[in-house]
Amino acid sequence: MVFDWFRRRFTDADKPAEALPAETPPANSAPATAPPAPDLLAWAKTAYANTQAEAPAPDTPAVDHPPPAVAIEAVPAAADPPSPVANPPAWLRNEGDRQARLTALAATAREEAIAAPKTGKGLVFNEEFLWTAEVLAGQGRAPETVSAEEIVWLQRLRQGLDKTRNPLLSRLQGLMGGALNAEALEDLEALLLQADVGPEATDYILGRLAAADLPAAGALPALKGLLREMLDGPLATRSPLLVPVKNQLNVWLMVGVNGAGKTTTIGKLANLAHKSGYSTLIAAADTFRAAAVQQVQTWGERARVEVIANTGTNVDPAAVVFDAIMAAQARGIELLLVDTAGRLQNKQNLMDELHKIRRIVDKKAPEAQVETLLVLDATLGQNGVRQAEAFTKAAAVSGVVLTKLDGTARGGVAVAVVRQLGLPIRFIGAGEGVQDLKPFSSYEFVEALLAG
Ligand SMILES: Nc1nc2c(ncn2[C@@H]2O[C@H](COP(=O)(O)OP(=O)(O)OP(=O)(O)O)[C@@H](O)[C@H]2O)c(=O)[nH]1
Ligand SMILES: [Mg+2]
């Protein structure tokens, strides 16, 4: 069994893949409120025990950056008192005997875990674990289908969005607690603009909320629902998840300005695909910068994926792509990831080169499922979106990878990207390590952005 990250579920690598059902709930189908607390606690307890019993992935690469502290704390010995849970979620806070219940739960969850082989992941049954349980259960997931890495990732995403959430949330809760009058809407406008949501999307949100005539307590859930609906907008005409089609060649081209994170994203995606059971190959088609080939080769080693490269001088990137397609077809490769240059002598040259690469792919691999993913640095905010607009006009972009959400980025930029480009976000990056990129889920993103 491997955890297929693209499908977000465990699969049997030896069995042919079934047709893909939509696992991400449509924008409005996720419950606005959490399921009843007892169910959720039982859910969290089962998921915790499962993550402790989970066998390590066959060849998970060594983590190449310090993982988030929360994910790596050692599980206290059974005799230790469990750590108190600070800032519990509302559903837990409402319980009169919260601490006693949690103590009992942590103890029993650990007991169940002790019987199974330890993976050393060291997840702690604490407030953050309960938050991830709430988010995963809220999407209709069964606790048995959740992997430890998903939990670690959600915690990391939430931490990455701290800088947006912390100033936003307290003021937002204050605002949303009262009537949404003209003054409150004006304050909300300022908050959304500060979070990089962008003027167009901000106007749209304010218009919708003003028209909804919401009771005070309904404003925050309504805002969450609206953000999800906006983020999922482009999926109305597309598949909800971007998954490489099994037993067939898929070619994913990474394009974007220099420094956006294309090469890093290739490395992380190669790792994700390899671990998820897809045969994968990388084409080093950024031949403009001398160091680019070496950089992508290092990523290939980290992800245990072979790189097709030509280290000669004045190499035509389209020729590298040609070689890579030939190799992929000869070996029955499922996913070919193509790294491209972010800067050439001028913008026209760059666009011409991308066209040429695309023509080669279409000609030599007409059977392939081709995706062109625009890699976008989230820390650039509105400037990045404007740069991206120029790019999407020239290249037939089909989706976006938003990187650097762990840095100074303000998370609202995701909404601006989707609204202004009309493209779905397919993956998000929140760190420089090989594990720090995962498929995008609007539900998880909005929960992480506005987690209480
Ligand atoms: N913090 C953080 N840094 C990232 C992330 N993704 C990429 N980076 C960093 O951004 C820098 C540029 O990344 P590259 O992958 O080289 O960018 P590129 O788009 O390939 O750049 P060119 O090859 O010059 O066009 C590197 O230092 C990466 O480590 C991320 O999600 N978080
Ligand atoms: Mg690069």
Query: Which pLDDT value is given to residue 13?
Result: 57
Nearest CA to ligand 1 atom 13: 261
Q: Give DSSP secondary structure letters for 363-415.
A: HH-TTSEEEEEEEEEGGGHHHHHHHHHHHHHHS---EEEEE-TTTT--TTHHH
Query: Which pLDDT value is given to residue 434?
Result: 93
Average pLDDT, the chain: 81
The response to whether residue 403 sits with its C-beta less than 6 Å from ligand 1 reads yes
AA identity, residue 332: G
Q: Are 214 and 222 in contact (CB under 8 A)?
A: yes
AA identity, residue 214: L
Residue among 284, 392, 269, 380 at smallest CA distance from 6: 269
Nearest CA to ligand 1 atom 5: 404
State which of 153, 162, 264, 387 you would mutate to test the pocket of ligand 1, scoring each by most atoms of that ligand within 8 A of its C-beta. 264
State which of 432, 435, 437, 440 you would mutate to test the pocket of ligand 1, scoring each by most atoms of that ligand within 8 A of its C-beta. 432
In this predicted structure, the answer to whether residue 88 has a pLDDT above a threshold of 50 is no
- 400 alpha carbon to ligand 1 midpoint, in Å? 15
Which ligand 1 atom sits closest to the C-alpha of 343? 25
Distance CA 252, CA 368 (A): 10
Instruction: State the ligand closest to the CA atom of 431.
Output: 1
Query: Which pLDDT value is given to residue 347?
Result: 81
pTM, to two decimals = 0.83
Q: Are 158 and 128 in contact (CB under 8 A)?
A: yes
What are the structural domains, with CATH classification, of the chain? 250-440 (3.40.50.300)
In this predicted structure, the answer to whether residue 3 has a pLDDT above a threshold of 70 is yes
Q: Are 369 and 249 in contact (CB under 8 A)?
A: yes
Distance CA 435, CA 432 (A): 8
Cα 212 to Cα 182, 183, 222, 342, distances in angstroms: 13, 16, 9, 44
Which ligand 1 atom sits closest to the C-alpha of 339? 20
Distance CA 368, CA 360 (A): 12
Task: Please indicate whether residue 194 or residue 279 has the higher confidence score (pLDDT).
Answer: 279
User: What letter would DSSP give residue 236?
Assistant: G
Query: Which pLDDT value is given to residue 259?
Result: 93
Cα 105 to Cα 23, 49, 101, distances in angstroms: 29, 11, 6
Distance CA 160, CA 406 (A): 4
Which ligand 1 atom sits closest to the C-alpha of 258? 25
The response to whether residue 435 sits with its C-beta less than 6 Å from ligand 1 reads no
Nearest CA to ligand 1 atom 30: 404
- 263 alpha carbon to ligand 2 midpoint, in Å? 4
Return the sign of the alpha-carbon dihedral for residues 165, 168, 174, 175: negative
pLDDT digits (tens, 9 = 90+) for 360-374: 999 999 999 999 999
AA identity, residue 351: M
Show the CA angle centred on residue 42, arms to residues 36 and 47, nearest 5°: 120
In this predicted structure, the answer to whether residue 116 has a pLDDT above a threshold of 70 is no
Element (H, E) at 339: strand 335-340
The response to whether residue 377 sits with its C-beta less than 6 Å from ligand 1 reads no
Q: Give the count of beta carbons closer than 10 Å to the beta carbon of residue 234.
A: 18
- 161 alpha carbon to ligand 2 midpoint, in Å? 25
pLDDT digits (tens, 9 = 90+) for 225-274: 999 999 999 999 999 999 999 999 999 999 999 999 999 999 999 999 99
Q: Are 387 and 380 in contact (CB under 8 A)?
A: yes
Buried b (16+ CB within 10 A) or exposed e, 81-103: ebeebeebbebbeeeeeeeeebe
Locate the DSSP E strands across 258-331.
Answer: 280-285, 306-308
The response to whether residue 431 sits with its C-beta less than 6 Å from ligand 1 reads yes
Distance CA 86, CA 98 (A): 11
Distance CA 119, CA 320 (A): 41
Q: Are 371 and 249 in contact (CB under 8 A)?
A: no
- 248 alpha carbon to ligand 2 midpoint, in Å? 26
Per-residue pLDDT, averaged over 283-290, amounts to: 90
The response to whether residue 262 sits with its C-beta less than 6 Å from ligand 1 reads yes
Taking only Cα atoms into account, the Rg of the chain, rounded to an integer number of angstroms, comes to 23
pLDDT digits (tens, 9 = 90+) for 368-405: 999 999 999 999 998 999 888 878 877 889 999 999 99
123 contact partners, CB below 8 Å, separation of at least 6: 48, 51, 52, 71, 75, 129, 148, 151, 152
Residue among 245, 397, 253, 272 at smallest CA distance from 333: 245
Distance CA 150, CA 48 (A): 12
Which ligand 1 atom sits closest to the C-alpha of 431? 32
Largest CA distance in the chain: 71
Per-residue pLDDT, averaged over 30-55, amounts to: 74
Distance CA 398, CA 358 (A): 13
Query: Which pLDDT value is given to residue 178?
Result: 67
Cα 282 to Cα 101, 179, 238, 252, 295, distances in angstroms: 50, 54, 25, 10, 12
